[in-house]
Amino acid sequence: MAILTTSREFGSGNMEIARAIIASLNYTFVDKEVLFKEIGAIGGKWEIWAKELDDSCPSFWEKYDRSFKGFGALLQSIQLRYALQDNVVLRGRGANFLMEGIPHAYRIRVVGLLEDRIERITMRESVDQETARWLIEKSDRERAGFVHALYGKDVSDPQFYDAVFDKRRQSLDEIIETVKQTLLARDKLKTDSAQRLLSMRAVSAKIKARLIMDPLLYVPILDVECTQTELVLRGIVRNSAQYTGIVEAARELAGDLPLKVELRYRA
């Protein structure tokens, strides 16, 4: 089946749409709780950093800190691993950017009138309207900052989605039906080549996460990209021993996938 990624303005009713798709199409729901459980199983320090950094705008220093880079790479690796299973809803955290160019992925964003969002939050959180407005502004700002730190892109820009649903123009039932029918149609776009591309992205994210998280291999400037035909390892290393260690670890994780090495020595 197709993959659904959801992004939302805080209090827009995104969860109702996700729940309806999960129930009607038997999808797996990958949200904060699922991701935290996965990260927590890896190690205590990563779980702590995840709780501190998740869905919040990192400071200037955190953006360039190993903990944030490691958490971001780990988060992407887990999201892509679930995407490979299909029948999945990836909620928030920039999943729409991870699925860009994947034909059987449907990337949506849900927005709504501020007054309606305030009303929903006052009821859901049992707070007054002033507090609800503050929560909405804070959450939207923090989430936008977090995604921008990971991808360098504006999470609210419509060009990064296949559809933007406005609760002012469509009812919840209409949105749910549109999403459901689109997912059923996009299931036909899941080809061997599309699945291979997604698999290569998952492997590249896994390699990047492992290399960044390993204190013996870590370098400040490192990336693993995925083209249509190969994985590309880029970065700046200090010496030949570090070069060898990184390349050997990357080749082992890449398996049979072609890996192009573009590591450079620091001048």
- Cα–Cα distance list, 5 to 17, 99, 131 (Å): 11, 8, 29
What pLDDT shows up at residue 243?
92
Instruction: Choose the weakest-confidence range: 143-147, 155-159, 249-253.
Output: 143-147
Bridge partner residues of 234 (DSSP): 223, 262
Q: Quick one: tokens of 169?
A: 């123009």
Q: Where do the structural domains in the chain lie, given as residue ranges?
A: 3-192, 214-265
Q: Is 57 or 215 the better-scoring residue by pLDDT?
A: 215
Bridge partner residues of 111 (DSSP): 166
Instruction: Indicate if the pLDDT at residue 80 is higher than 90.
Output: yes
Torsion of CA 151, 157, 159, 164, to 10 degrees: 120
Distance CA 74, CA 152 (A): 17
Q: Is 60 or 246 the better-scoring residue by pLDDT?
A: 246
Instruction: Choose the weakest-confidence range: 102-106, 112-116, 211-215, 223-227.
Output: 211-215
What pLDDT shows up at residue 79?
94
What pLDDT shows up at residue 47?
65
What pLDDT shows up at residue 112?
87
- Under 8 Å between Cβ of 155 and 144: yes
Question: What mean pLDDT comes out for the span 25-43?
Answer: 84
Q: Quick one: tokens of 123?
A: 């009821």
What pLDDT shows up at residue 56?
55
What pLDDT shows up at residue 116?
86
What pLDDT shows up at residue 60?
47
pLDDT digits (tens, 9 = 90+) for 114-153: 988 898 899 888 899 999 999 999 988 888 888 888 888 9
Q: Is 62 or 103 the better-scoring residue by pLDDT?
A: 103
Residues whose CB is less than 8 angstroms from the CB of residue 48 and which lie 6 or more positions away in sequence, other chains included:
none
Q: Is 10 or 53 the better-scoring residue by pLDDT?
A: 10
Share of the chain above pLDDT 70, in %: 90
The angle at the Cα of 259, spanning 256 to 261, to the nearest 5 degrees, equals 155
Instruction: Indicate if the pLDDT at residue 242 is higher than 50.
Output: yes
Q: Quick one: tokens of 171?
A: 């009812």
What pLDDT shows up at residue 57?
53
What pLDDT shows up at residue 1?
80
CATH number belonging to domain 214-265: 3.30.1340
Distance CA 41, CA 45 (A): 11
Instruction: Indicate if the pLDDT at residue 61 is higher than 50.
Output: no
| Mean pLDDT of all residues belonging to the chain | 87
Share of the chain above pLDDT 90, in %: 49
What pLDDT shows up at residue 63?
55
CATH number belonging to domain 3-192: 3.40.50.300
